[in-house]
Amino acid sequence: MSWVALKMLIGNRGKYFAIVFGIAFACMLMAQQASIFVGLMRNTTSQIRDISGADIWVMDPSVEFVDDITPLSDDDLYRVRGVSGVAWAVPLYKGLARAQFREGNFKQFIVMGLDDQSLVGAPPQMLLGSVGDLRGPDAVLIDEYGYRYLWPDQPLRIGQTFEMNDNRAHVVGICRASPSFQTFPIVYATYSRALNYAAQERRVLSFVLAKAEPGVPVDEVCQRIQRQTGRLALSQQNFARMTISYYLHRTGIPINFGTTVLLGFIIGASIAGQTFYLFTISNLRHFAALKAMGLTNIRIIGMVLIQGFFVGLIGYGIGLGMTCAIEEILAMKLTTIPLASYMVWQIPAGTAVAMALIVLVTSVFSLRRVLTLEPAAAFR
């Protein structure tokens, strides 16, 4: 009977392709929008994830996310170093600066100031040059997307120069950094040089990066720092969660993307449900004939469910494949703009659950006419 059900389904090509299209479109829309949402949330923590080597971030208690910076005093750095369980602590500057180019254009930059001696917080991957080159005069590193944005028609090379706050910046290396939420070019410099690039303020220390001693739990060290210094100390993971939580609760991003995903589900269910219902109505005489031959309602329900999950599986595969293909094409085409899309395993799994729900609802809706059908209808 399963083979008969599939032959009935594929025999009506027009309705068959319409059902597959509706489910594929719904799966593509839900998976793509969910991937963009996850990508945006991931970009908000890019500069936290790119900092390697440090376990603990120390900041002012009023800070709510990574870009909400309240400067610390220089004394806070030494106070953190004096806390029991802290192996080392270094300063980190993070801020915005305007750069002037020879053409007279001004561009906004994200400036990361690294500890002059250890260079903790350096970019994770270098494409040209080395991190140690930052110790040279006027030396800075720039991320790959930022370079392609500023010099789109030029190949990757070092030696470019520009000015920030009337101070010369010489590009000695190009790195690969995670895309940021603000999409500004990212410049890395030593801490002392970054202070010259930034606007002058009385306090300039953005964060203190610390490392827990071996064998001492990070959370315990964070509690000690908070008790002794009065500053907020968080592990890298907890700071990333706090940043994501801010964007989830204080922006309209979740509502906007959630609405789009819901619309995709509704549209897919509507198209597939209406078409599948019309398909079932057009095949009532066949179902009546099968009933007249002795098929029970349970077997009829199984046939309809097989038809529904067959088209659902095909539509799901096509929709997910289209999502991945679109992301790959955009990633190759957009060389100056990072693609804010990231697909985790929960997205295909959630899309599969939504697809199964669409198929189940549409199948149950279509079964109402089949179950009340009289076998004698086959002979009318």
Q: Output the pLDDT for position 114.
A: 94
Encode pLDDT of 54-68 as tens digits.
999 999 999 999 998
Question: C-alpha 126: how far from its chain's center?
Answer: 23
Q: Residue 291's closest CA among 345, 372, 233?
A: 372
| Residue 179 shares a structural domain with residue 117 | yes
Looking at residue 14, its pLDDT comes to: 74
Phi and psi at 114, nearest 5°, equal: -100, 155
Structure tokens at 104: 């007279």
The answer on 268 and 207 residing in a single domain is no
Task: Say what angle helices 253-282 and 284-292 make with each other, to 10 degrees.
Answer: 60
29: in domain: yes
Give the pLDDT score at 304. 76
C-alpha–C-alpha distance, residues 254 and 248, integer Å: 6
Percent residues over pLDDT 90 in the chain: 35
Question: Rounded to two decimals, what is the model's pTM?
Answer: 0.83
**36 and 78 co-located in one domain:** no
Check whether residue 26 and residue 120 sit in a common domain.
no
Residues 375 and 266 in one domain: yes
Distance CA 209, CA 88 (A): 8
Domain count for the chain: 2
d(CA 162, CA 92): 23
Write the pLDDT tens digit of every residue in 236-284: 999 999 999 999 998 888 888 888 888 888 877 777 777 777 777 777 7
362 domain residue, yes or no: yes
Residue 20, domain extent: 2-44+253-379
pLDDT score of 245: 93
Establish if 269 belongs to a structural domain: yes
> Which of the listed residues 230, 265, 293 is the one where a domain comes to its end?
230
